[in-house]
Structure 1
Amino acid sequence: MTIIIPKKVYFTIIASSVRFANQRIPEDEWLEVSGVLIGKNEGKKKKAKVILSEAYPIMHQELDKNAVIDQYKWADEDYLALSIIDDEAFSRDEFTVGWWHSHPGFKVMMSHIDIRTTLSYQQNNPLAISLVFNPIRLIRQIELPDKKGNPIIQLKNDPGFKIYRLDDVNKGIQASYHEVEYELEGFNNREEAVSQAQKFIIDVTNFFPKENVTKRYDDYVKERINQLNSMLVGTEEYLKTLTRKGEKNRVPEVLESQKKEIRKYVAETFIKIENIKEYMDYLEYKERERIIPLVNEILSKWDQAISKLNGQLDEISKKF
């Protein structure tokens, strides 16, 4: 049995997990994240394939530093989200093929709670899977020991996750489990996949906050618009200075140079804007209806500013 994992699915799991467990967050505040996997089954028995098409983040663990057991419960809105996702998948001749969750900073394995959850999926679908991801495993390329004091195992080109299935669902929560083979699609090789994923973690850490998402992006867009306006004003003032000094012959060269700098700035901002749009796919499902329209409204402010740019540059050119 082999699991086919597209790049989009892999990066969704990474982004959704790292959002709640990264270097900008104190380690004792890292939270587990959980979601479902959508796809379809092909083939039978040993030649069976589970082909993933989507990974949906559903919820994250509640922080309680005094809790003996992690607070890891689905709310009513999470079950509603799962129902909607199921219906949408069914309309594409797909279905929920398993679940995924993160183990931020600790060993990739299945706890008794994870076994119970996997059991609920595998009882309904014998080919159902459980994917467990640890971003630190991906970043540091290490396998944490089974017991404290045992040596850490160095890894190479490890994507940070393992996929499991229960051996015998009839044994219930006492069931043992085994690893399942998988293939990552969208990369030339495993080394490239890991390298891109590690760089992606840096981007997510810096630009996909766990809280105040709209404020973060609103502040960014406002800052970029203000800086763009400052560049336009600065260009005009510079050209005025050259004219006053009797160096008008330098105006065309300087103007062209300033235009290049402005367009470079716009291009850099465009990349970040596209990142923001991409990150909307990594929000928990219940967040999307509220956050995405607000973010679209924020991004439209940048679009409006850019729509005026050519006219503003033409006006500056005409003055000199």
Structure 2
Amino acid sequence: MRLWEKVDAKGKVILEKDAYHAIIVSCYRFANPSIMKSKWAEVQGILYGYNKDGIVHVTRAVPLAHLSSVAVEMDDNDYVLVAELEGEMASHDLFQVGWFHSHPGIKLFLSLEDVKTQAGLQAPNPLAIALVFNPIYLMERESDFGFKIFRLDDPSTIEIKFHEIPWEIAGTGDGFLKESKMLMHGVQRFLRGEGVFDTIQSRLDKTYKKMNSEIFGLKTYLQNKKKTATTEEIFNSFTKHKARIEKLFNKKRESIDIQVMLLDYLELKEMLQYKDRIDEIREEWKAYKQTFTELLMDVEKTIFDST
């Protein structure tokens, strides 16, 4: 029996899987085995969505800040950014339905400071939720999604009394947990340190250089082979080497696709500060995937149109 089947279903929460992935990426980025445990940071963010028939629908999770201490706090600039974000969400008929924060490596509960934060949200909105996530639970435990969702028993007091809320993640299948764990491997590999954009740009440049070299080499090889080989032999060589090059590119593409996707889950300040850079990387990679196909087609056309 799943955990959420044991609790009161009133006020159930439905998370969109993209919101869940945003929580995973933002929290695991600052607390994973590649970072000394003493430097693990807690993360805080906002949950946006809507309420319908007593059910909370979480459509977006926006990471705000991380802090290497026992609690997460926000500065004045963060509140200004949040105010702007609230306006954007309102234009899509979404509002803050709760908040999330991480407890890396420790149990899932609400501290006194968490209770104070939750009381401020739940008093005006009784369905408001607090999602607490431990990324280590998700990574190390076989069938644990790594989080719990809470509401206060009485938001008019600051007593540490809260209860667990049932939840589900919408539109997921049997392989979703495995997919989420794979995303964590991508975080640990690609979102390390401060040079996130330099890392991905270097990866892109090396990929362009490698694949262009492979295609140019194939073209040169086939042009030389035409001098002595039959059309059938040339075709067989082209088919063989084209398959090898496509296999190589597909392997690189899968990895870079993950790396580019992770840019969707940066903290709010990063997303705003580097918006143009993020857009450039996305467009550049999208364009090269098309260019790669066109380059291979050009080799085929050049070789066989003149045969």
| TM bucket normalised to smaller | 0.7 to 0.9
Structure 1 partner of 2:25: 15
Structure 2 partner of 1:253: 236
Q: 1:224 and 2:207 equivalent?
A: yes
Structure 1 partner of 2:74: 74
Alignment of 1:257-268 (within 5 A): 257-268=240-251
Distance in 2 of aligned mates of 1:74 and 1:306: 42
Match for 2:178 among 177, 192, 195? 195
> How far did 1:160 drift?
0.5
Structure 1 partner of 2:3: none
Q: 1:167 and 2:150 equivalent?
A: no
Q: 1:236 and 2:251 equivalent?
A: no
Distance in 1 of aligned mates of 2:242 and 2:186: 28
Task: List runs of 5+ in structure 1 lacking aligned partners.
Answer: 64-68, 142-155
Task: List runs of 5+ in structure 2 lacking aligned partners.
Answer: 1-10
Superposed CA offset, 1:88-133 (max 9, x none): 2222222101100111112111122211211221123221110000
Distance in 2 of aligned mates of 1:296 and 1:167: 44
Alpha carbons 1:217, 1:295 under 8 Å: kept: no
Alpha carbons 2:150, 2:162 under 8 Å: kept: yes
Would the alpha carbon gap of residues 106 and 278 (structure 1) be closer, same or farther in structure 2, given more than 3 Å must change? Answer: same
Structure 2 partner of 1:152: none
One-letter amino acid matched to 1:163: I
Structure 2 partner of 1:113: 113
Would the alpha carbon gap of residues 289 and 171 (structure 1) be closer, same or farther in structure 2, given more than 3 Å must change? Answer: closer
Match for 2:60 among 54, 58, 68? 54
> How far did 1:218 drift?
0.3
The 3-state SS of whatever aligns with 1:169 is coil
Distance in 2 of aligned mates of 1:93 and 1:112: 32
Match for 2:191 among 196, 208, 232? 208
Distance in 1 of aligned mates of 2:164 and 2:49: 19
> How far did 1:287 drift?
1.0
Superposed CA offset, 1:4-62 (max 9, x none): 1121111111111111122222222221111000111223xxxx21111111111111x
Distance in 2 of aligned mates of 1:103 and 1:197: 18
Superposed CA offset, 1:268-289 (max 9, x none): 3443443344223211111112
Structure 2 partner of 1:148: none
> How far did 1:239 drift?
3.1
> How far did 1:299 drift?
4.3
Alignment of 1:268-283 (within 5 A): 268-283=251-266
Tell me which moved more, 272-281 or 285-294: 272-281
Structure 1 partner of 2:88: 88
Alpha carbons 1:225, 1:305 under 8 Å: kept: no
TM-score w.r.t. structure 2 length? Answer: 0.85
The 3-state SS of whatever aligns with 1:171 is coil
Alpha carbons 1:168, 1:175 under 8 Å: kept: no
Distance in 2 of aligned mates of 1:23 and 1:240: 50
Structure 1 partner of 2:298: 311
Structure 2 partner of 1:33: 43
Alpha carbons 1:168, 1:176 under 8 Å: kept: yes
Aligned residues: 292
Structure 2 partner of 1:24: 34
Would the alpha carbon gap of residues 6 and 242 (structure 1) be closer, same or farther in structure 2, given more than 3 Å must change? Answer: same
Distance in 2 of aligned mates of 1:75 and 1:264: 48
Structure 2 partner of 1:98: 98
Match for 2:16 among 6, 26, 32? 6
Distance in 2 of aligned mates of 1:239 and 1:91: 57
Tell me which moved more, 222-231 or 281-290: 281-290
Distance in 2 of aligned mates of 1:213 and 1:128: 34
Alpha carbons 1:4, 1:49 under 8 Å: kept: yes
Would the alpha carbon gap of residues 114 and 33 (structure 1) be closer, same or farther in structure 2, given more than 3 Å must change? Answer: same
TM-score w.r.t. structure 1 length? Answer: 0.82
The 3-state SS of whatever aligns with 2:59 is strand
Structure 1 partner of 2:144: 158
> How far did 1:241 drift?
5.8
Structure 2 partner of 1:183: 168
